[in-house]
Amino acid sequence: MKLSRLADQIQTSPILTFAAEINARKAAGETLYNLTVGDFDPAIFPVPDALTEATIAAYREHQTNYPGALGLAEIRSGVAHLLNRTCGLDYGAKDVIIASGSRPVIYAAYRAIVDPGDKVVFPVPSWNNEHYAAMNGARIHTVETDPGDHFMPTAEMLAPVLEDAVLLALCSPLNPTGTMLTRERLEEICELVVDVNSRRSDHLKPLYVLFDQVYWMLTFGDAEFAHPLAICPEIRDYAVFVDGMSKAFAGTGIRVGWSTGAAHLLDKMVSVIAHVGAWAPRPDQAAVGKFLFMDEEVDAYLEKFRGALEARLDAFHEGFMGLRERGYPVDAIAPEAAIYLSVKIDIRGRTTADSKALASEDDVQRYLMDAARIGVLPFSWFGAHSHGNWFRISVGTCELEDIDPVIAGLAAALDNLAPA
Instruction: Give the pLDDT band of residue 22 (cuts 50, 70, 90).
Output: confident
Q: How are strands ordered across the β-sheet holding 340-345?
A: 330-332, 340-345, 390-394, 377-378
Q: How much is the mean pLDDT over the chain?
A: 95
Tens of pLDDT, residue by residue over 352-386, are 988 899 999 889 999 999 999 999 999 999 999 88
List the domains of the chain with CATH numbers.
Answer: 5-45+299-415 (3.90.1150.10), 49-294 (3.40.640.10)
The vertex-193 CA angle with 130 and 335, nearest 5°, equals 60
CA-to-CA dists, residue 172 to 219, 220, 376, angstroms: 11, 13, 21
Give mean pLDDT, residues 25-46: 92
Residue 152 — very low, low, confident or very high, per pLDDT cuts 50/70/90?
Answer: very high
**143: amino acid identity, one letter:** V
Torsion of CA 187, 231, 133, 116, to 10 degrees: -100
Reduced DSSP (H G I as helix, E B as strand, rest coil) percent helix, strand, coil of the chain, to 5: 45, 15, 40
**Secondary structure of 92-153 in HEC code, one letter for each residue:** CHHHCEEECCHHHHHHHHHHHHCCCCCEEEEEECCCCHHHHHHHCCCEEEEEECCHHHCCCC
What is the distance between the alpha carbons of residues 335 and 313, in angstroms, rounded to a whole number? 6
How far is Cα 233 from Cα 192, in angstroms, rounded to an integer? 13
Task: Look at residue 94 and tell me whether its pLDDT is greater than 70.
Answer: yes
Q: Cα-flanking dihedrals φ and ψ of residue 48, to 5°?
A: -60, 140
Q: Give CA–CA dist 78/285, Å, rounded.
A: 10
pLDDT class for 26, splitting at 50, 70, 90? confident
- Going from the C-alpha of 231 to that of each of 74, 79, 234, 375, the distances in angstroms are 28, 20, 9, 39
Which pLDDT score, from 0 to 100, does residue 1 have?
81
Q: How large is the average pLDDT for residues 67-96?
A: 96
pLDDT band per the 50, 70, 90 thresholds, residue 18: confident
391 phi-psi bin (left φ>0, alpha ψ -120 to 50, beta other): beta
Digit-coded pLDDT (tens) for 157-171: 999 999 999 999 999
pLDDT band at 64 (very low <50, low <70, confident <90, very high): very high
Is pLDDT above 90 for 17?
Answer: no
> What angle (nearest 5°) sits at the alpha carbon of residue 234, between those of residues 228 and 239?
55
User: Has residue 420 got a pLDDT over 70?
Assistant: no
The candidate with the shortest Cα–Cα distance to 229, out of 211, 247, 215, is 211
The half-sphere exposure of 157 on its side-chain side, counting CA atoms within 13 A, is 18
Read off the pLDDT of residues 243-277 as tens digits, 9 standing for 90 and up: 999 999 999 999 999 999 999 999 999 999 999 99
Q: Specify the pTM.
A: 0.95
Band the pLDDT of 419: cuts 50, 70, 90.
Answer: confident
The predicted pLDDT at position 418 comes to 85
| Residue pLDDT, tens place only, 273-315 | 999 999 999 999 999 999 999 999 999 999 999 999 999 999 9
What CA–CA distance (Å, rounded) separates 114 from 296?
41
